Amino acid sequence: MEISLKGKVVLVTGGSRGIGKGFCIALAASGAQVALHYNRNQEKAEAVTSTLQNGSKAFAANLENIKEVIKLFEQVKSEFGQIDVLINNAGVAFSSDLSQNDEDWLDHWDRTFAINTRATGLLCKKAIAHFKEIGGGRIINISSRAAFRGDTLDYLAYGASKGAIPSLTRSIARYCGKDNIKAFNIAPGFVRTDMAQEFMDQYGEGFALDDIALNELTEPKDLAPMIVLLASGLADHATGSTIDINAASYVH
């Protein structure tokens, strides 16, 4: 079955690379207008949007900055008239060994939560208010298997920041459903991206491959079809659900 997202505007944070880039390509190919958020690399972001259809555009924002998070949402809304789907994908992961001094360790902790959790929550807040105005919408939050099974000690902040996302998603799903607002949580495992490569450079690719049930690491293209499905409205009764896409490295 071919899924059409024609007429839908989708905001994807962290859309210039990694799984976010894969999402943007798949969403645009299905007919959506994509608002691709990026942080610093304008050239890379515009290179991606130049390959997308339907008038998709790139928008810059530093998600550590609250004012820029708000401005991002308002800019996209102003440019396209409305937002139908919010995909909170942007995230960071800093290796912070427990032997670090407290100041540096806390700096990584605060930056991780600012981007992975606070910005996600604020964008959800903005989306809920907007969706109530236009008659509904969908939120897709990208968490991690680390939210459920934990992570290594040097990535405590990453695991904890992602652990908040399923609760956020469930709360929105439970208490906004009557307003025609649906919320979903995707929990990937290792996905072959630049960010994951940094971890594999540290621990070795075997660390990742030996941890999964399949022969190959998950790639962005393995997540993208689920994003398109959830954005389409064809799976609305899965609102509140967490969908694990981790090659059976965590099963619950």
Annotated catalytic residue, options 38, 155, 158, 250: 158
Cα(first)–Cα(last) distance of the chain, in Å? 29
Taking the C-alpha atoms of residue 118 and residue 19, their distance in angstroms, rounded to an integer, is: 20
> Is 158 in the active site?
yes
> What would the pLDDT profile of 74-131 be if each residue is shown by its tens digit?
999 999 999 999 999 999 999 999 999 999 999 999 999 999 999 999 999 999 999 9
pLDDT at 52 over 70: yes
pLDDT at 185 over 90: yes
The stretch 200-216 carries a mean pLDDT of 75
pLDDT at residue 217, rounded to an integer = 85
The stretch 224-245 carries a mean pLDDT of 97
**∠ CA 206-252-3 to the nearest 5 degrees?**
85
The reported pTM is 0.94
Domains and their CATH numbers in the chain: 9-245 (3.40.50.720)
Taking the C-alpha atoms of residue 31 and residue 43, their distance in angstroms, rounded to an integer, is: 24
Annotated catalytic residue, options 162, 178, 182, 250: 162
Taking the C-alpha atoms of residue 177 and residue 194, their distance in angstroms, rounded to an integer, is: 36
pLDDT at residue 190, rounded to an integer = 77
pLDDT at residue 203, rounded to an integer = 67
Q: Which of 9-18, 74-83, 139-148, 241-250 has the lowest mean pLDDT?
A: 241-250
pLDDT at 153 over 90: yes
> Is 162 in the active site?
yes
Taking the C-alpha atoms of residue 71 and residue 207, their distance in angstroms, rounded to an integer, is: 40
> What would the pLDDT profile of 124-152 be if each residue is shown by its tens digit?
999 999 999 999 999 999 999 999 999 99
